[in-house]
């Protein structure tokens, strides 16, 4: 192999990920949130809000839905869900230590020991607002903005796709499977 | 002791006439001793220098790759985490409030604004100094390293340390430690792309290492990352760019310098000097006693040297040599691609594939010019310094010769210079680079040097252009009327008309074009008026190759812009 061909090979190797990325149409760097059965990946979400009783996670995504923008960091975690029925209006999901529920209406709780609130900004022509799951030590908010009509099916979809995993359940899995203590 | 070349016969205006070549010493007369075949297994004069540390860096990359794959397996993950947490617990015991504040400040080295600032500063310097090769390697390592670390973190999905309180903010998965990756990438890249080796790099490298080391210690102290997260980060951020720079921009071929003028010249330091002396002695039988750079400003395609060799009788002889290396091969390639894009298929613009081919071609041309009796430097052969990477070609040194522009020329010199074109035509050869710096005068003889661009069986218009460029060069030191009058003694008026009909600005070498512009007499127009009228000859040809090379260049530019944009986009991942 001549030096020139070695250099070409090097450049090709280095460029391969970008070419592959471009071909796959994933030029925008994104990442999906962990699924509820991925304890190892979920741990970092739990660490982002220490002490929260529940951790948001993905159940099986229904056809036409995709998750992206997963961004866990100290203080909270963010990710998005988007449906191909309304691709321009993603649902922004925030996991934080607290939410402002002032002006929100209580609705059917989505998990034991949690309270769920709905805060609507608009009903028509678009059905937009924020759904909030509030529990001990934390809160998950879902900011949505759907066209009136299809909104019923879309809300039902995302409520069923984002689960709340109990922290103690995750801690037990991590302890038994990875010999790691999740902490408070 | 010198001898005259044996006479050869050339066709001049349809008649055979005798021509004697220049007086040159033969190789055996220069120094007959010293030739020696290099036995199999013996290293070449200048073995390719592979840093011992490079092997360790490669090993670190391999181990990191293997560890990363193993991380997916639960037992390895659990084991690594146990060890990591034990280390972090030990570090936790030395925590004190004052030190914590210091470590939190040091941890800011890994923040985006520090990394981005250092990266853009490096990019700016590389652009200003037009070191595009280093820029490409720097951008590629930056983007590949950042993006690679991002992909790895998603693949492994490792949590932050548990059991030990984390004393600083964090973002994303823990493995690999991406702030360490980012800071190491920009720091190492800056050291290898900006700092000249020799005196400065050994001084700067420990400072860079200390900065990265401080960040590593801070992150361990603050328990933001596991030790294995940091080891993987150092492999990606430190080992990978070092290997990339040493491979794609080796210092011996692409030295980092800040002097003015062409950057293509290699440093003739002690090691290379000794290697050249050994190579010339063993391969060409020359006993070299002195090597010095010569005419560096006039050459960007090679490193020109003047050699002093001793002859058997104890007298010395000066020779001219050109050192060709990978950097020159690539310069030649870019130059030819540039010409192909700008001018189309003027003639054979295919780049050389290896440095050896470059040296072989020029050596062949020197021998061909000698054989057809051209007044060009006599060839002494070429020697291998580093196989496929460096070769030195040796030829006669025209001692006492002056560039045509610096000499007073009269009819005999003009006749002699025009006769060289006649001889080129008769031999079916084109020089392709006739300009003032390649036409020397000594003892009323015109001497033609630098045959590297010459070609055999050129296009007819290319031969005609050699005549036009020679007449323009001669007219710079005399008058167009005089040159035209002398040319009619050796060429038909139609030949001269064809020469200037084929002459366009793109066919005139840059130096000659600049001299014509400075001269201000409108020499090209003057010659066209003197010669019989003839329609302009089109010389540019569109071809699939031109389209393909142009498209390739556009893709490369887009890729470069894309890399910069990708880096900006990836900044959020740092």
Interface of A with B in 84-143 (CB under 8 A): none
Average pLDDT over residues B191-203: 88
Per-domain boundaries in chain B: 27-35+43-47+260-396, 52-249+558-571, 402-530
Q: How far apart are the first and last CA of chain B?
A: 70
Evaluate whether B433 touches B493 at the Cβ level (below 8 Å): no
Asked if A178 and B151 come within 8 Å (Cβ–Cβ), the reply is no
Task: Please name the CATH architecture into which domain B402-530 falls.
Answer: Orthogonal Bundle (1.10)
> Over the stretch B198-256, which tens digit does the pLDDT of each residue have?
788 889 999 999 999 999 999 999 999 999 999 999 999 999 999 999 888 887 777 78
- Dist. CA B272–CA A6, nearest whole Å: 23
Average pLDDT over residues A18-38: 56
A183 falls within a domain: no
| B449 strand-pairing partners | none
**Cβ neighbours of B140 in A, within 8 Å:** 11, 14-15
Average pLDDT over residues A45-56: 94
Q: Is the pLDDT of residue B339 over 90?
A: no
Q: Is the pLDDT of residue B429 over 90?
A: yes
pLDDT of residue B168: 93
pLDDT of residue B9: 35
Of the candidates B195, B293, B205, the residue with the CA atom closest to the CA atom of residue B249: B195
* CATH entry, B27-35+43-47+260-396, from 3.90.1200.10, 3.30.70.980, 3.40.50.1000, 3.30.200.20: 3.30.200.20
- Dist. CA B469–CA B524, nearest whole Å: 10
Q: Is the peptide bond before B26 cis (omega within 30 degrees of 0)?
A: no
Which residues 6+ apart lie within 8 Å of A70 measured at CB? A30, A31, A32, A33, A34, A77, A78, A79
The sign of the CA dihedral B393, B396, B399, B402 is negative
Evaluate whether B347 touches B461 at the Cβ level (below 8 Å): no
Q: Is the pLDDT of residue B46 over 60?
A: yes
pLDDT of residue B424: 95
Average pLDDT over residues B512-526: 92
Q: Which of B159, B386, B569, B572 to mutate to test the interface with A (most CBs of A within 10 A)?
A: B159
DSSP string spanning A46-104?
Answer: HHHSTT-SEEEEE-PPPTTEEEEEEEEETTEEEEEEEETTSTTSPEEEEEES----TTP
- B431 or A28: whose pLDDT is higher? B431
Query: pLDDT class for B11, splitting at 50, 70, 90?
Result: very low
- Dist. CA A76–CA A141, nearest whole Å: 11
Q: Does B387 touch chain A (CB under 8 A)?
A: no
Between A and B, how many CB-CB pairs are < 8 A? Answer: 92
Average pLDDT over residues A37-42: 90
Q: Does B171 touch chain A (CB under 8 A)?
A: yes
Q: Is the pLDDT of residue B271 over 90?
A: no
Portion of chain B with pLDDT greater than 90, in percent: 49
> For the ranges A38-47, A110-119, B272-281, B559-568, which has the lowest average pLDDT?
B559-568
Please tell me which residue of chain B has the smallest CA distance to A78: B172
A63 falls within a domain: yes
Q: Which of A4, A13, A175, A177 to mutate to test the interface with B (most CBs of B within 10 A)?
A: A4
pLDDT of residue A20: 43
Q: Is the pLDDT of residue B19 over 50?
A: no
Q: How many residues does chain B have?
A: 574
A142 falls within a domain: yes
Of the candidates A151, A30, A140, the residue with the CA atom closest to the CA atom of residue A76: A140
Q: Which of B332-336, B416-420, B502-506 has the highest mean pLDDT?
A: B416-420
> Over the stretch B283-311, which tens digit does the pLDDT of each residue have?
998 999 999 887 665 566 788 899 999 98
The sign of the CA dihedral B347, B351, B353, B354 is positive
Looking at B225-293, list the stretches that DSSP marks H as alpha helix, in order from N- to C-terminal side.
Answer: 227-234, 240-248, 270-284
Query: Residue B316: in which H helix or E strand, if any?
Result: strand B316-325
> Over the stretch B432-462, which tens digit does the pLDDT of each residue have?
889 998 999 988 899 999 998 899 998 888 8
Q: Is the peptide bond before B176 cis (omega within 30 degrees of 0)?
A: yes
- Structural domain of residue A162, as residue ranges? 3-178
pLDDT of residue B543: 73
Q: How far lies B36's CA from each of B42, B288, B321, B364, B526, in Å? A: 12, 15, 20, 22, 57
Query: pLDDT class for B22, splitting at 50, 70, 90?
Result: very low
pLDDT of residue A72: 94
- Dist. CA B455–CA B461, nearest whole Å: 13
Give ipTM to 2 decimals. Answer: 0.82
A139 falls within a domain: yes
Asked if B569 and A29 come within 8 Å (Cβ–Cβ), the reply is yes
A162 falls within a domain: yes
pLDDT of residue A2: 52
> Over the stretch B169-178, which tens digit does the pLDDT of each residue have?
999 999 999 9
Number of helical H runs and strand E runs in chain A: 4, 9
Q: What is the pTM of this model?
A: 0.69
A117 falls within a domain: yes
> Over the stretch B109-119, which tens digit does the pLDDT of each residue have?
988 889 988 98
> Over the stretch A110-133, which tens digit does the pLDDT of each residue have?
888 899 999 998 888 889 999 999
A184 falls within a domain: no
Query: pLDDT class for B33, splitting at 50, 70, 90?
Result: low
Domain count, chain A: 1
Query: pLDDT class for A6, splitting at 50, 70, 90?
Result: low
The shortest C-alpha distance from A97 to chain B (Å) reads 15
- Dist. CA B123–CA B144, nearest whole Å: 16
Which residues 6+ apart lie within 8 Å of B66 measured at CB? none
Q: How far lies B247's CA from each of B209, B240, B303, B523, in Å? A: 21, 11, 22, 49
3-state secondary structure of B130: coil
Indicate the average pLDDT of chain B. 85
Asked if B81 and A3 come within 8 Å (Cβ–Cβ), the reply is no
> Over the stretch A146-162, which tens digit does the pLDDT of each residue have?
888 888 888 888 888 89
Q: Does A40 touch chain B (CB under 8 A)?
A: yes
């Amino acid at each position: 192999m001549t030096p020139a061909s070695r250099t070409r090979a090097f450049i090709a190797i280095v460029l391969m990920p970008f070419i592959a990325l471009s071909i796959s149409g994933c030029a925008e760097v994104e990442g999906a949130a962990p699924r509820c059965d991925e304890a190892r990946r979920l741990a970092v979400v739990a660490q982002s809000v220490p002490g929260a009783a529940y951790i948001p996670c993905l159940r099986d995504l229904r056809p036409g839905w995709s998750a992206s923008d997963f961004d866990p960091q100290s203080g909270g975690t963010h990710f998005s869900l988007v449906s191909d029925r309304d691709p321009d209006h993603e649902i922004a999901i925030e996991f934080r230590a607290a939410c402002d529920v002032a002006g929100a209406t209580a609705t059917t709780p989505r998990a034991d020991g949690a309270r769920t609130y709905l805060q609507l900004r608009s009903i028509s022509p678009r059905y937009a607002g924020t759904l909030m799951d509030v529990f001990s030590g934390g809160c998950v908010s879902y900011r949505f903005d759907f066209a009136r009509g299809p909104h019923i099916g879309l809300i039902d979809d995302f409520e069923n796709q984002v689960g709340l995993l109990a922290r103690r359940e995750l801690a037990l899995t991590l302890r038994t499977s990875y010999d790691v203590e999740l902490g408070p | 002791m010198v001898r005259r070349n044996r006479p050869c016969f050339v066709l001049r205006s349809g008649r055979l006439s005798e021509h004697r070549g220049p007086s040159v010493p033969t190789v055996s007369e220069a120094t007959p001793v010293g030739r020696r075949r290099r036995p199999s297994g013996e290293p070449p004069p200048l073995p390719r220098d592979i840093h011992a540390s490079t092997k360790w860096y490669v090993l670190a990359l391999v181990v990191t790759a293997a560890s990363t794959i193993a991380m997916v397996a639960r037992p390895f993950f659990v084991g690594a985490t146990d060890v990591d947490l034990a280390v972090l617990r030990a570090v936790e015991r030395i925590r004190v409030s004052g030190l914590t504040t210091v470590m939190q400040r040091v941890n800011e080295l890994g923040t985006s604004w520090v990394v981005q600032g250092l990266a853009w500063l490096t990019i700016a310097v590389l652009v200003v100094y037009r070191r595009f090769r280093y820029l490409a390697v720097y951008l590629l390592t930056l983007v590949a390293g950042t993006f690679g670390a991002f992909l790895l973190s998603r693949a492994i999905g490792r949590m932050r340390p548990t059991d030990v309180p984390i004393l600083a903010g964090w973002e994303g998965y823990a493995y690999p430690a991406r702030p360490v990756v980012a800071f190491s990438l920009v720091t190492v890249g800056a050291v290898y792309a900006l700092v000249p080796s020799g005196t400065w790099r050994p001084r700067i490298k420990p400072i860079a290492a200390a900065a990265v080391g401080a960040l590593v210690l801070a992150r361990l102290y603050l328990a933001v990352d596991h030790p294995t997260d940091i080891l993987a980060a150092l492999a990606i951020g430190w080992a990978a760019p070092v290997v990339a720079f040493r491979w794609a921009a080796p210092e011996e071929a692409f030295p980092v310098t800040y002097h003015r003028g062409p950057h293509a010249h290699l440093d003739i330091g002690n090691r290379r000097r000794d290697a050249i002396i050994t190579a010339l002695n063993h391969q060409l039988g020359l006993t070299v006693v002195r090597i010095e750079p010569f005419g560096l400003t006039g050459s960007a395609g090679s490193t020109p040297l003047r050699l002093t060799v001793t002859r058997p009788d104890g007298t010395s002889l000066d020779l001219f040599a050109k050192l060709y290396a990978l950097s020159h091969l690539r310069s030649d390639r870019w130059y030819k691609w540039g010409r192909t894009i700008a001018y189309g298929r003027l003639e054979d613009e295919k780049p050389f594939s290896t440095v050896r081919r470059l040296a072989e071609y020029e050596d062949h041309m020197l021998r061909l010019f000698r054989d057809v009796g051209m007044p060009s430097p006599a060839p002494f052969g070429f020697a291998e310094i580093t196989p496929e990477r460096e070769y030195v070609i040796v030829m006669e040194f025209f001692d006492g010769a002056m560039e045509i522009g610096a000499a007073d020329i009269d009819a005999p010199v003009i006749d002699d210079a025009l006769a060289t074109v006649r001889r080129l035509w008769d031999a079916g050869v084109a020089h392709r680079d006739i300009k003032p710096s390649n036409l020397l005068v000594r003892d009323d003889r015109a001497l033609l040097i630098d045959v590297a661009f010459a070609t055999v069986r050129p296009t007819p218009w290319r031969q005609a252009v050699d005549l036009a460029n020679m007449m323009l060069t001669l007219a710079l030191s005399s008058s167009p009327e005089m040159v035209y009058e002398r040319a009619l003694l050796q060429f038909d008026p139609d030949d001269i008309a064809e020469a200037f009909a084929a002459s366009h600005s793109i066919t005139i070498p840059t130096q000659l074009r600049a001299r014509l512009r400075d001269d201000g007499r409108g020499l090209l127009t003057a010659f066209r008026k003197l010669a019989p009228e003839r329609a302009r000859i089109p010389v540019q040809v569109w071809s699939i190759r031109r389209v393909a090379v142009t498209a390739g260049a556009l893709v490369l530019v887009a890729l470069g812009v894309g890399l910069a944009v990708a880096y900006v986009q990836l900044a959020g991942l740092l």
